[in-house]
Structure formats: C-alpha cells, structure tokens
Amino acid sequence: MLFVRCLLLLVVVLMPAGAALAQADAPSDDARTLVVGIKPAPPFVIERGDGYAGLSIDLWREIAAEHGWRYEFRSYDLPALLGAVSAGEVDVAIGAITATSAREERMDFSHPITSSGLGVAVRSQQSAGWVAVARAFFSLAFLKVLLALGALLLAIGTLTWLFERRRNAAQFGGTPARGIGSGFWWAAVTMTTVGYGDKAPATLGGRIVGLLWMFAALIIVSTFTAAITSALTVGQLSTRIRSADDLATARVTSLAATTSAQWLQRRGFAFEETPDLDAALERLGTDATDAVVYDAPLLRWTIAQRTGSALEVLPLTLERQDYAFALPTGSPLREPLNEALLARINAPDWNLRRARYLGDDSD
C-alpha cells in the first residue's frame, strides 16, 4: 500500500513538468498548422519562384523542424504584417522586422537575430564627383559669389573712373557708362593678372587704388582657386554626406511606413517616399536624389545584386536596429523559439552563416 501511495505521489509531481515540456514543444494539443506571416526583405526573406529563402527563413525552418511544428506562409506588406501580429491573425512574423519600443507595446519579439542599423546609400564617389562639381557651379551659393565678385569689380572700376575721367580721358573718359565700363574691364584684367596694358591709371589716386587692388586681388583669386580645387577634389574623393546632419541639405529618399522614415521624421529631415527599395535606388542611380536612407543590410544586399551598379553604402550608422521575429503578445511560441535561436546564434558557425547573407555587416 505504501508503495502504491509513493507511486501516485511521484506521478502527481511529474505531471506538471511533463505538461510544461509538451506545451513548450508544441503550439497546441491538436498540433495545428501555424500561420507564419512574411514580408519579403532580402537578405532576411528572399522571394523565389519556388518559395522563400534567406537568413530568417532558414532559421525558422530549422526551428520548426526541430519542434515538429507544421506551418504555412502568408505574404503581407509591412504595415499589414504588423497589424496581423497585433490582432493575433498570425502566429509569428518573419522579415526585416525591427524591434522597437512602440511596437513592443502591441506585440512581443523574439531574441534579436542580428543587430545593424540604418544606413545611407549614395552614388559611388568617383562617378559622382563631376556631377557634384557641376551642381556646385550652378548652385545658388556659387551665383551669389559671382554676383559679389561682380559688384566688387564694379566698385573698383567706378572708383578708378572717378580719379581718371578728367586727366586720363583717353582710357577712362567718355560717358559715365563707358568710363565705368573701362574701369570694370581694367579691374577684371588686373585681378586675373592678365595685364593687357591697354588701360592703366595715371593719376595718384588712381594708382593708389590700383596698388591696393593688386594686393587684394591676389587674396581673392587665391581663395577662389582654392575653393574650386577643393570642390573638384572633394567631389571626386568623398561624398557630401559625412554625418547625419548633412542629410538636412541633401535630397533624401526613404521607404514609406518604415523605421527609416520614422527616424527622418523625428529628426525633421525632408524626404521623398517610395513604395519599395528598388524604386528608391532607381531614383538614386538617375540622380533624382542624393541619398537613400534605409536598413543597412538590405541596402548592401540589394545594391550587390544590381550588376554594374554605381552605388555604395556609406560607413555611417544612423541608428542601431535589432532584427527579430514578431509574435502576438503572450505567445507560447516565444520561449521555445528563443531557446532555439540562442542555440544557433551561439554556435561556432553562426558568423559564417550571417556573413553568407549579410556580407560585411556586423553586430
């Protein structure tokens, strides 16, 4: 009798643990088919004719096979996918889904698969150099410099005419318009050190103006030449965007309803929206925009697939992002999913697996 009581007590003690293990390993008692919502976002989810591939897809298939989960894929756009997770219409969502505090209020997230950040894609530096220089020459700032220089030449020419109009009428005489025009011509020739010698001041006041103008012109020409040289060099060897603040003066494109668009809005940056990444990169390639702001891994992968593309991703991270699976709040899948993810992320071959899809991207 005592043996029977001990056996019953042992069964009672072990039953909760066995039930917990069974619950952790299977989504429900009837082993229903899980609904897996996906948003194609290479290299995490790559859409192919015969199905899907990618880093996140590979992880999910391995984990589902390990736990014996049956599932079916359903494709969504990003807003619809997040809405389906919040409403419990899907059991897990897979894509380039960023875990944010705002989204955490509506759903749960798995352990991050990888961490990266928002990146900036631009036209390749070498090819964009002369375009940048040409744009600089036709910019409002350059026009203002030319107008200021013209006004200075006019002032020097007028001052010279005032001194020379009577005693040097052969060179600076005639009507005021003709005399000032001669002074303007002399000031321009002197500034550029051409020295035709067709006109020269003869009065003391005119020569003093001429002497002062010669020294001032040396400084002006040196500064102007340095600015042009800098524009040529910088335009070929670097980009106008070196930090996040530089986006304020650039033509920026991003994708609608994404974390990159939200980041630009928070910073108060003006930008154009496109429905997908291919459209954004097409605008960049045709010089319709200066930069595309989006998830760095997706930018790198997509640009790498464009044969002969003259685009590149800058070594600039605007904001850290953690990519994870999204689940409805309180989902029983979260714990077994996290355990399986951590086992793979801590495996010796994980960095090689990541590099196969994400290239040079790193945590």
Task: Summarize pLDDT for 303-322 with one digit per residue, the tens.
Answer: 988 866 789 999 888 999 99
Kindly tell me if the per-residue pLDDT of 266 is higher than 80: yes
pLDDT at 228: 64
Report the CATH number at residue 66.
3.40.190.10
- Give yes or no: residues 109 and 146 share one domain: no
Check whether 30 has a pLDDT greater than 70: no
Q: Is the confidence at residue 31, as pLDDT, over 50?
A: yes
When pLDDT is averaged across residues 146-166 and rounded to a whole number, the result is 89
Give the residue from 204, 237, 270 where a domain finishes: 237
Q: Using CA atoms, how far apart are residues 186 and 60, in angstroms rounded to an integer?
A: 78
- The last residue of one of the domains, among 209, 237, 265, is 237
Closest CA to 294 of 310, 271, 327: 271
Structural domain contains residue 214? yes
Residue 70 has pLDDT above 90, yes or no: yes
Select the more confidently predicted residue: 14 or 199: 199
Q: What is the pLDDT of residue 332?
A: 95
Number of domains in the chain: 3
Is 218 found in the same domain as 168?
yes
Q: Is residue 335's pLDDT more than 90? A: yes
Segment 99-125 shows an average pLDDT of 92
For residue 175, being part of any structural domain is answered with yes
Q: Which pLDDT band holds residue 183 (cuts at 50, 70, 90)? A: confident
pLDDT at 16 over 80: no
Average confidence (pLDDT) over 353-358: 88
In a domain, 318, yes or no: no
Name which of 26-35, 125-134, 209-218 the model is least confident about.
Answer: 125-134
pLDDT at 137 over 70: no
What's the average model confidence in pLDDT over 337-359?
A: 92
The least confident of 11-20, 132-141, 181-190 is 11-20
Asked if pLDDT for residue 138 goes beyond 80, the answer is no
With a threshold of 0.85, does the pTM exceed it?
no
Task: Count how many residues are written for the chain.
Answer: 363
Band of residue 55 on the pLDDT scale cut at 50, 70, 90: very high
Which of 20-29, 169-178, 234-243 shows the lowest per-residue confidence on average (mean pLDDT)? 20-29
CATH classification of the domain holding 156: 1.10.287.70
Are both 225 and 250 inside the same structural domain? no
> How many CA atoms, within 13 angstroms, populate the side-chain half-sphere of residue 134?
6
Domain that residue 244 falls in: 122-126+240-313
- Please tell me whether residues 146 and 175 are part of one structural domain: yes
Q: Residue 43: is the preceding peptide bond cis (ω within 30°)? A: yes
Whether residue 138 lies inside any domain: the answer is yes
What local confidence, expressed as pLDDT, does residue 5 receive? 53
**305, 329: one domain:** no
Q: 128 or 137: whose pLDDT is higher? A: 137
The reply to whether 2 falls in a domain is no
Residue whose structure tokens are 């996906």? 38
Is it true that the peptide bond before 176 is cis, omega within 30 degrees of 0?
Answer: no
pLDDT of residue 232: 53
Residue 234 burial (10 A CB sphere; 0-12, 13-18, 19+):
middle
Q: Are residues 227 and 245 located together in one domain of the fold?
A: no
Residue 324 predicted with pLDDT over 90: yes
278-299 average pLDDT score = 93
What pLDDT score was predicted for residue 21? 39
Q: How is residue 75 written in tokens?
A: 């494709």
Model confidence at 194, pLDDT cuts 50, 70, 90, reads confident
Q: Report whether pLDDT(11) > 50.
A: no
- Residue 297: pLDDT band (50, 70, 90) is very high
In a shared domain, residues 137 and 232 = yes
User: How do 92-94 and 291-295 pair as beta strands?
Assistant: unpaired
Residues 138 and 233 in one domain: yes
Same structural domain, 173 and 260: no
- pLDDT surpassing 80 at residue 135: no
Residues of the chain with pLDDT > 90, as a percent, come to 50
Q: Is the pLDDT of residue 1 over 60?
A: no
pLDDT at 208 over 80: yes
What average pLDDT does range 289-294 have in this prediction? 94
Residue 168 burial by Cβ neighbours in a 10 Å radius (0-12, 13-18, 19+): buried
Beta bridge partners of 34: 71
10 falls within a domain? no
Mind listing the pLDDT tens digit for each residue in 211-229? 899 888 888 888 877 766 6
Residue 58 covered by a domain: yes
Q: 232 and 151 in one domain?
A: yes
The verdict on 274 and 306 lying in the same domain is: yes
Domain stops at, among 192, 207, 237 = 237
Largest distance between two CA atoms of the chain:
139
> Are 228 and 246 spatial neighbours (Cβ–Cβ below 8 Å)?
no
Residues 246 and 283 in one domain: yes
pLDDT band at 63 (very low <50, low <70, confident <90, very high): very high
